[in-house]
Amino acid sequence: MPAPGAPGTDGVAAPPPASGAWRDGDPVGGRRWFALPGPLALEAGGFLPGARLAYQTWGSPRPDGSNAVLVLHALTGDSHLTGPAGPGHPTAGWWTELVGPGRALDTDRWFVVAPNVLGGCQGSTGPASAAPDGRPWGSRFPFLTQRDQVAAEVLLADVLGIDRWALVVGGSMGGMRALEWAVAHPGRVGALLVLASTAAASAEQIAHASAQLHAIRADPGWHGGDYHHLPPGGGPHRGLGLARRLAQITYRSEPELAARFGRVPQSGEHPWRGGRFAVESYLDHHAAKLAHRFDAGSYVVLNQAMNAHDLGRGRGGTAAALRRAAVPALVAAIDSDRLYPPTQQAELAALLPDADALRVLSSPYGHDGFLLETGQVAPLLAELLPAARR
């Protein structure tokens, strides 16, 4: 059963686009772009030519760039860190409560930078973007790792004149990149905040992602990754929707789902006659939203990069790698997180040079707690930002 479409102006569900990626000609929505100065050498071999990063900024940099904060988004996030939904941005900012004048990331004091990850679909080069021959990259897009993505972000920092970030912060996939920054470029990181992330993807996390990728590739609309030319309704939106349903279950906790939905039927429907339970409607809603704002190819590329995440690869193991990250650091765990369980953050924090690195946030929301518990994240930012000024 296909994911339900978003309502059109006539009230009838509109078919999902072949890709929800931002395209040239769409409203800019506050984005800026940085074109990489040459082909990007990739960890797995080969090069990515003609790449660019979309990013947004808030606040003003000091002449020496010493007040710059880098915020790195999770899997289906983007550079729209704060602000309402509108032209060019299908969703509201994902950390609006934390960014702005007088907030934890006070833009009267800090210059906040949020790039869209390389391989993403909201302005940065990814599978939906035009390759040098003018056609979408599609199945030709190369395999990326977190190290490749950080290498592109280092070039962005260079062009912005930022020799050292006061703070690098990220959650989930963004936390992986934040760790890569601290391990690969410790001299350019003043302080580090990692939320609900890990030093290396676990077998279970790889398994969850693998099931989602199989769902996308099994969709007849996938066409081997070359579907961007198809009309609305013709792309792999069913597979992407199923992937989102599978992911959403892992993002929340069982007690929260039980408290919110239980066995309650969706309004006006009768599950014992083939209708849906309310929790099924909830999953359908998230599937439809993602199909309208994201690209299935980017979902594959970014999940593969997350599966490949391993700080210790080629660095003598995880412990040796993390010894390089000699910066003030905090690692935040969500006590109800079943996707990135607190044991992973405890192991990570124990290997960082900062001996008092672990914090545990209490939340019913599971993994999504790093996005939703802004009242508990704000003190962590306040704790690190003074250290970043030293």
Express each pLDDT in 139-150 by its tens digit: 999 999 999 999
Q: What is the pLDDT of residue 387?
A: 59
Q: Is the Cβ–Cβ distance between 5 and 28 less than 8 Å?
A: no
pTM (2 d.p.): 0.95
Q: What is the mean pLDDT of residues 225-253?
A: 98
Q: How many angstroms separate the CA atoms of 58 and 102, rounded?
A: 13
Q: Is the Cβ–Cβ distance between 325 and 193 less than 8 Å?
A: no
Classify 281 as helix, strand or coil.
helix
pLDDT in tens, 17-42: 999 999 999 999 999 999 999 999 99
Q: What is the mean pLDDT of residues 347-359?
A: 94
Residues designated as active site: 172, 337, 367
Q: What is the mean pLDDT of residues 52-63?
A: 97
Asked if the model's pLDDT at residue 5 lies above 50, the reply is: no
Percent share of the chain, pLDDT over 90: 95
Q: What is the pLDDT of residue 386?
A: 79
Angle at 88 between CA 181 and CA 177, to 5 degrees: 10
Asked if the model's pLDDT at residue 288 lies above 60, the reply is: yes
Classify 91 as helix, strand or coil.
coil
Q: What is the mean pLDDT of residues 168-189?
A: 98
